[in-house]
Structure 1
Amino acid sequence: MTVLPEFPLPRAAGCPFDPPPALREMQQAGPLARVRLADGSTPWLVTRYDDQRAVLADSRVSADIERPGYPLGAPRPPSGGPKIGFILMDDPEHARLRRMVTGSFAVKRVEAMRPAVQRIVDERIDQLLAGPRPVDLVEAFALPVPSLVICDLLGVPYTDHDFFQQNSRTIIRRTALPADRTAAMQALNLYLDDLMGRKLAEPADDLLSQLAGRVHNGELTRQDAAQIGVLLLIAGHETTANMIALGTLALLENPAQLKVLRDSDDPRLVASAVEELLRYLHITHNGRRRVAIEDLEVGGQLIRAGEGLIVANDIGNRDPSAFEDPDRLDLARNARHHVAFGFGVHQCVGQPLARMELQVVYGTLYRRLPDLRLAVDADRISFKHDGAVYGVYELPVTF
């Protein structure tokens, strides 16, 4: 009897930036492989770049967590309980709800925010320069910057950051007890529902107030509005915070590439560096999960209706058929076609904001702190192997 590998797979010791070696072996062996999840289910793992894009663009696969066969891998949340916005829904409801926020993340709107984000980054670096050393870059910079940005965009008081950051960490920690994860989700939903009530009474110039206006007009329920708020709040700070810290560590471990970025004021190079770091690191490592709603063929393999699929985008971004010498960090590479933000109708709605924030951070931090370096040996850095979003718990640095 064949023993299937347990997913997610472990990384190799001493290779914190690379996907698990078993993923590369699966990618080389064939387009798809069966894996086993914690609940005993055995979905298909899609490892190759072209197949991943095909699956994510195929209307015959569903992102609906409620469908039988969806590869959840954990106890299913109670029906009717709090959810994370629209990402685990299918069209047309997914598209209807998503359209209500896309305007706030349009490239033109995001670019108008760049000066404000630059001020936030510069103020935080000023505080680093004036403060004690060594310092934890996660706590002092990587986490506050995107938290301040998303709070301003949504209309969430930044003074509540300890509350929403702690609950967010519980929700995305793979090892959290189901009861703790449910409690954290309920706490954030209640918090956003209360905020929605305030926006209904006194609207302001922010995204939550726009959603409140749709609630007032009968286009959206207050519960749906709160759940969208939870999604945007969690995704708006957790992913970017981890990219800032992990990207900085990757650059410190690749000093020649760091020098290229630090010594350039070319915005095109900075933008290229952001795309390459997104490709190289790809911080969401639980895979994008789907279930087939019709029979379909992927990479020559027949997938039956009701079978689960996991799209492992981290190894897709290291596919040599899509990226030459994919395990090398090369900031001059044209990596814009990576799948770090997914693909198809469910690709990340906030990607223009994430790109802009990372461009400001990576284009400013190393230039203003040219002597930035680790304050501990690299092997003492603790990585988030237990999280749905990969990164480091702390990053002690000096300069």
Structure 2
Amino acid sequence: MGESVHTIRTMPLERRPGCPFDPPPELIEARDHGPISHFTFPGGKPGWIITGYDLVRSVLEDQRFSARKELLLHPTIDLSGFQVDPAAPGEFLLMDDPLHSRYRKLLAGKFTVRRMRMIAERVEQIVGEHLDAMEKAGPPVDLVAAYAKPIPAVVICELLGVPYEDRARFQDHIALFLSGETSDEDLIAAVAAVHGYIEELVAAKRKNPASDVISDLLDTDLTDEELRGIGLVLLSAGLDSATNVLALGTWALLSNPEQLAALRADPELADSAVEELLRYVSVGKTFMRTALEDVELGGQTIEAGTTVVLSYNTANRDPERFADPHALDLSRNDGGNLAFGHGVHMCLGSQLARIELRIGFTALVNRFPTLRLAVPSDEVPLRPGSADVHGVKSLPVTWDA
């Protein structure tokens, strides 16, 4: 190992004040030194952080790197004194093949492009209802509470068959364990509440199946425990990421008025705008993989058993992959952002998220032509660096009524 290899000494890392969309400066500096850096995990075990686009992508498609929960270290939590159990049945994001592919194949038919297009009409309805409510209430509003949070929540809850009267309670529990600011005691209680609720939901679907994803899976050989795990993965993934892309993406548009004007002027720009906003805000910050054998990567030897941290947000700003990477350019056509991952674990709900974002962004900016922040930019409260998903706690906006 050469002396020139950069070292990142600590995580989590906060964003630079006034730069809420950029990766933390320490990660940008690391990427400037090269695509791979030394890192010591809490507890003292050595590892690596990968900040370059090509290397992140190569790890995600390399079966010599494992996604198994019990093999992974965490960049902010000291796991050295704990026995980490394998992922619960159905929690396929933290599994390798063949278990991962078994669950994924059963789910793949539920998230096809065709089915998602059929859902688009309902998404337009939901978006319209929330815009009507915002207009009726009048400015200012918190865009997170009034728009960015409820829209993905309604969509994913309807897709999975969560009854209307249960949604608010369920969303509150999910928000607690995704916020990055919850005490250990409250976190354990929130996770237990979500698990218990999904268990009740699966039992209810067994008695009265309907036209939702969980009901569709009842004809398979999945156990109730596996269905609970799948439900937990889909609900938590479907709620938080889309919420924060909608909120941060709107803020990014308001901060780049020429790009906002271009989106309003050209409806054909909507799809590329979604891809660029996904790249630019990169709410999914890091994912981990552990080497199953010695692997040569970026001129370094990743020893078997070593965990690497994949920095999605820095990879999506890699100047070797994206021209002028720190600029928001809705007409960018170089594609290939890593917002939904890559390889066998690429996000199953990516098409659903794209539909929500395309409709959500375009309808919002067209309904309110004078939309703007209601507070100075540096007063918008960001989530802490410890949160797994980057975002804002609230986004106060206003417009000319």
- Report the TM-score, using the length of structure 2 for normalisation: 0.93
For 1:393 and 1:69, locate their aligned partners in 2 and report how far apart those are by CA, in whole Å.
27
Aligned residue type for 1:29: H
Q: Is the 8 A contact 2:41 2:73 kept in 1?
A: no
2:108 to 95, 102, 109: 102
Q: CA deviation at 1:77?
A: 7.2
Name the SS of the counterpart of 2:176 in structure 1.
Answer: helix
Deviates more, 1:29-38 or 1:226-235: 29-38
1:124 to 127, 130, 147: 130
Q: CA deviation at 1:36?
A: 3.0
Question: Could you tell me which residue of structure 2 aligns to residue 177 of structure 1?
Answer: 183
Tell me: CA distance 1:77–1:247, structure 2 relative to 1, closer, same or farther (3 Å).
farther
Question: Could you tell me which residue of structure 2 aligns to residue 340 of structure 1?
Answer: 339
Aligned residue type for 2:171: Q
Q: CA deviation at 1:82?
A: 5.6
For 1:391 and 1:335, locate their aligned partners in 2 and report how far apart those are by CA, in whole Å.
25
Deviates more, 1:62-71 or 1:358-367: 62-71
Find out whether 1:162 has 2:168 as its counterpart: yes
For 2:60 and 2:87, locate their aligned partners in 1 and report how far apart those are by CA, in whole Å.
27
CA-to-partner distance for each residue in 1:306-347, whole Å, 9 max, x for gaps? 011111010000001110000000000014201111111111
Work out the percentage of aligned pairs sharing the same amino acid: 42
Question: Could you tell me which residue of structure 2 aligns to residue 293 of structure 1?
Answer: 292
1:60 to 52, 64, 73: 64
Q: For structure 1, list consecutive stretches of 5 or more residues without a partner in the other structure.
A: none
Residues 60-79 of structure 1: pairs in structure 2 closer than 5 A: 60-67=64-71, 73-75=77-79, 76=82, 79=85
For 1:151 and 1:198, locate their aligned partners in 2 and report how far apart those are by CA, in whole Å.
15
Tell me: CA distance 1:140–1:335, structure 2 relative to 1, closer, same or farther (3 Å).
farther
Tell me: CA distance 1:104–1:339, structure 2 relative to 1, closer, same or farther (3 Å).
same
CA-to-partner distance for each residue in 1:331-388, whole Å, 9 max, x for gaps? 0001420111111111111101001110111121101111111111111100012311
Q: CA deviation at 1:390?
A: 1.1
For 1:393 and 1:153, locate their aligned partners in 2 and report how far apart those are by CA, in whole Å.
26
Name the SS of the counterpart of 1:238 in structure 2.
Answer: helix
Name the SS of the counterpart of 1:45 in structure 2.
Answer: strand
Q: Is the 8 A contact 2:274 2:357 kept in 1?
A: yes
Name the SS of the counterpart of 1:306 in structure 2.
Answer: coil
Aligned residue type for 1:220: L
Aligned residue type for 1:121: V
Question: Could you tell me which residue of structure 1 aligns to residue 27 of structure 2?
Answer: 23
For 2:74 and 2:255, locate their aligned partners in 1 and report how far apart those are by CA, in whole Å.
38
Q: Is the 8 A contact 2:180 2:383 kept in 1?
A: no
For 2:15 and 2:53, locate their aligned partners in 1 and report how far apart those are by CA, in whole Å.
20
Name the SS of the counterpart of 2:45 in structure 1.
Answer: coil
For 2:346 and 2:86, locate their aligned partners in 1 and report how far apart those are by CA, in whole Å.
25
Q: Is the 8 A contact 1:243 1:283 kept in 2?
A: yes
Name the SS of the counterpart of 1:283 in structure 2.
Answer: coil
Residues 152-301 of structure 1: pairs in structure 2 closer than 5 A: 152-214=158-220, 219-266=221-268, 269-285=269-285, 287-301=286-300
Q: CA deviation at 1:78?
A: 6.0
Q: CA deviation at 1:42?
A: 3.0
Find out whether 1:141 has 2:147 as its counterpart: yes
Q: Is the 8 A contact 1:70 1:291 kept in 2?
A: no
Number of residue pairs the alignment of both structures matches: 392
Name the SS of the counterpart of 1:224 in structure 2.
Answer: helix
Aligned residue type for 1:182: I
Q: Is the 8 A contact 1:71 1:290 kept in 2?
A: no
Tell me: CA distance 1:74–1:160, structure 2 relative to 1, closer, same or farther (3 Å).
farther
Q: CA deviation at 1:242?
A: 0.8
Q: Is the 8 A contact 1:275 1:335 kept in 2?
A: no
For 1:23 and 1:187, locate their aligned partners in 2 and report how far apart those are by CA, in whole Å.
36
Question: Could you tell me which residue of structure 1 aligns to residue 316 of structure 2?
Answer: 317
Q: Is the 8 A contact 1:137 1:397 kept in 2?
A: yes
Name the SS of the counterpart of 1:34 in structure 2.
Answer: strand
Aligned residue type for 2:225: Q
Tell me: CA distance 1:347–1:387, structure 2 relative to 1, closer, same or farther (3 Å).
same
Question: Could you tell me which residue of structure 2 aligns to residue 392 of structure 1?
Answer: 392
Q: Is the 8 A contact 1:272 1:335 kept in 2?
A: no
Tell me: CA distance 1:78–1:163, structure 2 relative to 1, closer, same or farther (3 Å).
farther
Residues 27-42 of structure 1: pairs in structure 2 closer than 5 A: 27-42=31-46
For 1:162 and 1:174, locate their aligned partners in 2 and report how far apart those are by CA, in whole Å.
20
